[in-house]
Each structure stands twice: as C-alpha cells, then as structure tokens.
C-alpha cells in the first residue's frame, strides 16, 4: 500500500465548507478551488487533465476521527461491486496518507467529470422518469447484493441516493453514478 503525505492547508476537516482560497497538497500535487469537493466525511480531489481522483476519508462524524483501514477496505469493496454493476466509478487502490498529526486513508478512483448535481445536465435533459428508473435499478442491485446504508442496518434500507452530490451524471455516456459511498454503507 502506498503511503503519501497530505497537507490540508487551512481546512480543519471538521466543517464541510472549504476555507476561502484553500489549497490541499496530496502526494506533491496542489488541488484548489473547484477541484476540491468537501463532504461531511471526506474530501474529493480531482483535476481536468486526469481520469482519476482521490477520496480522502477525513472524519467518522461526529467522532472527528478518520475511519480505520478495515472500514475503508469495506467501502472499496462495496464501490467495486457497484462499479461492476455499472452504478459507480471504478475504484483503483487504497492509499495510506498522513499529515503532521494523524493517519488517513484514501481511495484512488475513476473521476466522473460531473455536472452540478444529479439531474442538471449541461447538454442533455434527463427526464425524472429516467432517473426514477435508475434509482429503482440501483436499489434492486443493492438488495440482491446485500448492500445497504446503515441508517437502521436492515437490507433494503433507503439508500442515500438523492442528496445533492451523492449521484452525478457523467458528461460522457450520459450515465449516472453513485459517487458517495462512505463508511455508513454495509454488506451482508
């Protein structure tokens, strides 16, 4: 497993919002502006010239501690199964990373050159009916593969699909991907 240095700049990793004009250095590369997407539990880093990006797991909210290697391996496995089913970008590898204070884990994954949210395409209009059909398909796939979001721990729990930023339409192929698989997801 590779081990790389990460510098989160002014980001305290507690707030979802990035500090103004913040820069994050990951493995010697600088990411800034719209190339950093912040979530409650992770930071996404990507660039226009690469077909991969990084999801750095920063928090196990509300504990404010990064998830363990075992938890990140489970996320990787779930995302790999979703990828094979056509519902998620491809995960490539798990990377151990650290700053001056602690250890984190990241997943290098295929970058979905996304549009702003699930149903806001740039050059194509996706019907709500088409999106609802996609949601049913991914829910059925998850039920068949015993993948669930751990709100109550039951198979068939509502999946976290509709939050802005959880599902993205790719520019190429007019396809929707579930991009926000995190440590609350379970299998079995």
Q: If you average pLDDT over residues 80-109, what whole number do you get?
A: 93
Tokens of 84: 């094979």
CA 28 to chain centre: 21
* Rounded average pLDDT over 107-120: 64
The architecture in CATH of the region 3-110 reads 2-Layer Sandwich (3.30)
Residue 140's H or E segment, with its range, is helix 128-144
What's the pLDDT score for residue 173?
Answer: 61
- The tens digit of pLDDT for each residue in 56-91 reads 998 766 667 788 999 999 999 999 999 999 888 899
Contact 50, 111 (CB under 8 A): yes
User: What CA–CA distance (Å, rounded) separates 13 from 17?
Assistant: 9
CATH 3.30.200 domain residues, the chain: 3-110
Instruction: Give, for 149, the enclosing helix (H) or strand (E).
Output: strand 147-149
Phi, psi of 39 (to 5 degrees): -120, 180
- H helix or E strand, kind and range, residue 26: strand 23-26
Please check the confidence at residue 163 and state whether its pLDDT lies above 70. Answer: no
Say what the pLDDT of residue 119 is: 38
Quick one: average pLDDT of 102-113? 87
pLDDT tens profile 143-153: 899 888 776 55
Give me the pLDDT at residue 111, please.
Answer: 81
DSSP string for residues in 41-108 = SEEEE--TT-SEEEEEE---TTS-SPPPHHHHHHHHHHHHHHHHTTSSPPEEEEEEEE-SS-EEEEEE
pLDDT in tens, 169-185: 676 666 777 777 777 77
Average of per-residue pLDDT values in the chain: 79
């Amino acid at each position: 497993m590779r081990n790389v240095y990460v510098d989160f700049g002014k980001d305290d990793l507690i707030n979802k919002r990035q500090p103004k004009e913040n820069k994050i250095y990951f493995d010697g590369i600088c990411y800034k502006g719209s190339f950093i997407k912040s979530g409650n539990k992770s930071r996404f880093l990507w660039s226009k010239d690469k077909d991969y990006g990084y999801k750095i797991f920063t928090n196990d909210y509300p504990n404010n501690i990064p998830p363990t290697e075992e938890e990140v391996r489970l996320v990787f496995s779930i995302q790999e199964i979703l990828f094979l089913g056509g519902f998620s970008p491809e995960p490539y590898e798990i990377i151990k990373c650290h700053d001056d204070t602690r250890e984190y884990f990241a997943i290098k994954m295929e970058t979905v050159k996304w549009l702003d949210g699930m149903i806001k395409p740039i050059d194509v209009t996706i019907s709500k009916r088409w999106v609802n059909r996609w949601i049913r398909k991914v829910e059925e796939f998850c039920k068949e593969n015993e993948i669930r979001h751990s709100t109550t721990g039951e198979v068939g729990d509502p999946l976290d699909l509709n939050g802005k930023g959880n599902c993205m339409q790719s520019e190429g192929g007019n396809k929707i991907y579930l991009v926000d698989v995190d440590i609350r997801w379970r299998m079995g």
